[in-house]
Structure 1
Amino acid sequence: MHSPLYRSYNAAGVDHYYTVDADHVNQADSFWPLQKVAALVFVDQEESTVPFYHLFNGNAVDNYYTTSIAEVEVAINAGYVNISDDPLTYIYPTQICGSVPFYKLYSASQTDNFYTTSESERLDFIANQGYVDIEIAGYVLPLTPSQCT
């Protein structure tokens, strides 16, 4: 079953945070106030999905997400802590019918990883906010279901 993936933003730390835990982002004292629902993901592993690991670096105040265990190891060696049980989510590694790209962007000046399904938001962050396009992190379900062809 899929669940909303909430996107939050900490303006003080300049960091985006993604979680399926609505209680966490709705806390009055949350460091990462809710911005929007970014996509739909899975909280249990479904056919064709892979873990979407969550890591955090407290010194850099940066949340980092990946499907790659090799990237997890590199991030841990760079000072990140694997907190994938916060809770662990699952996404598609390749596009399947009805899924959309989950774009990963990065701002070196802000040490911020940003993920979005919106092409217009992706282009705005590249053109106007100093982010570079890194990759498609995986594929997620859109908020509005699409027809398979």
Structure 2
Amino acid sequence: MSRFFAREVLLKTMFQLSFRDSEAEAVEEIVEKESLALLNKEEENVDPLKFTSEDEAYVNSIVKGVKLHEEEIREAVQNKLHNWKLERLSVMDQALLKTAAYEILYRKDSPKSVVINETLNLIEKYGDPDSRKYINAVLDHLEASAADE
């Protein structure tokens, strides 16, 4: 399965988790539900063959990583949001920023340009088109900061 598809499941999982009190038990349930829902859709960009155990492990590792480093991620993103508070952004935009920021800052196996590009593609599919510009700017700044370290 494509990494884009896995990121799509990841985004939907993070979005749903933002409305739940008990997140740990919900992750596996949401991942399974969202992957099946996407697989059942007849979309040309989704290969309906399977959601592999590798995809599931990827999604689970990102969710756990975002939760583990949530304060650092929030601070890093907030520092790049000029004249805005993270809390003022839509829940979808927050989910997009947190997951992409985690990959940029903590995952050495994720090509930064691919993470940014696929995040922008997810905005077109699920987010507010007006968000694309500032999310791109935030992620570009995070990428530059990560490269400096």
Query: Structure 2 length normalisation: TM-score?
Result: 0.30
Greater helix share, structure number = 2
Query: Structure 1 length normalisation: TM-score?
Result: 0.30
